[in-house]
Amino acid sequence: MGGQMTTLTRMQDIDLSGRQVLVRVDYNVPKENGRIRDDTRIRESLPTIQYLLGQGCGIVLMSHFGRPAEYEGNRSDLSLRPVASRLEAIMKDEKLLEPSKHVIFLNNEASYGAANYHMLTPRLARVPYVVMLENTRFNEGEESNDPEFARLLGAYGDVYVNDAFASAHNKHASTLGVPQYFAKERKPVAAGLLMEREVTALQPLLKPKDRSVAVFGGSKAKDKLGVIKTLAGKYDEILVGGGLASTFLKAAGYDIGLSGYEEEFLDVARRLSVTMPVDARIGRGKAREAVYVYDVRFRNGSVDEGLSIFDIGNETVSLYAGIIAGADTVLWNGPMGVFERDEFSLGTQAVGKAVAQANARGAYAAAGGGDTIAALNKYGLSDRMSYISTGGGAMLKFLERDGNLPAIRVLYND
């Protein structure tokens, strides 16, 4: 993988006793009306935090949250303070934090752009302790990977641990600049337990065994065409559904009615060899309120004017399920339609069951992406996959670039 990379540096291989460890986590959790809707990403970081506490470490956590540069509301809505509170509650519930202790949240001028991130006071309680910094994206040096901002962040730790696979495709100060700074200072960098698990679990997808199938859905072609191009030479079959399929169908010359597609990617889609739906379930109106009409078979017809594709049809379900049934390696990213509506959920549910059945037969079946995970949870299939990745976008980039993500590459021993 990547030629020069050999072994992922694990935090378990470093003497961490009593040291202050700067940990990049991904706490970009869904929030609504100021309340956290899903704390899965927080919980996924607990094994790494627990291990470090067991080593008597001081822990300084850093994460981004949302896109402050594009946000038009109150900037405090993007503060990590509620996340720190949820982390504290979870840790106390899991007996990882004593009732009298707290996750110390640093809400200071540095968090909003001033150049004094190095001012973490040493006057904390004796190790172990847990500190959380404010949203790294409150400083514009984060997304530009500003070396000075990386240096100031780096002053928070003796060791750098990246446990944020979901952010590993970002060349930001907290994911790339800090470990590069640590390397220059001869300070250790390592992968956290979640990062290690993700990288290890995705390796079989880079070099699939025997018969391999990749299934891609979702709405955005721009997020998938790169990885499809990379995998086209490795996988026996690439199946497409969802809004992504509309771009391929349009590129192939089919009339897709009012279905959304990405015109700027039609030329790219024409050059890629994929298996497209042979029929679709269509409806009138917007996806959430659409009135179901009928299935249309593309080889003998087209989507009528005023109608849109909202799911793959019955014939496509049978076709795709049959292809997946013969696979030894299966990758799934993206639903086949608007699965939130029962009328348009058949394709996603059928593909999910086919992938689960392939896993039961001994295939390596991996899935990823927020909507894919939501579908797996909806249909009770989450425990029937070989692996579910926590980072949809990062997983796609990892596969597209054959594992060569800069934020992961710096964690390897050459």
Q: Which active-site residues does the annotation give? A: 41, 220, 370, 393
Per the structure block, which two tokens stand in for 340?
Answer: 């939130």
**What amino acid occupies position 385?**
M
Contact 296, 313 (CB under 8 A): yes
Per the structure block, which two tokens stand in for 189?
Answer: 């960098």
385 burial (CB, 10 Å; 0-12 / 13-18 / 19+) is buried
Contact 240, 276 (CB under 8 A): yes
Per the structure block, which two tokens stand in for 79?
Answer: 């503060």
Contact 166, 398 (CB under 8 A): no
Contact 404, 364 (CB under 8 A): no
Q: What is the DSSP string of 254-299?
A: ---TT----GGGHHHHHTS--BPPSEEEEEES-TTTPEEEEEEEGG
Cis peptide before 335 (omega within 30 of 0): no
**What amino acid occupies position 87?**
L
**Residues 6 or more apart in contact with residue 185 via CB below 8 angstroms:** 154
Q: Are strands 103-106 and 189-191 parallel, antiparallel or unpaired?
A: unpaired
State the Cα–Cα distance between residues 43 and 211, nearest whole angstrom.
35
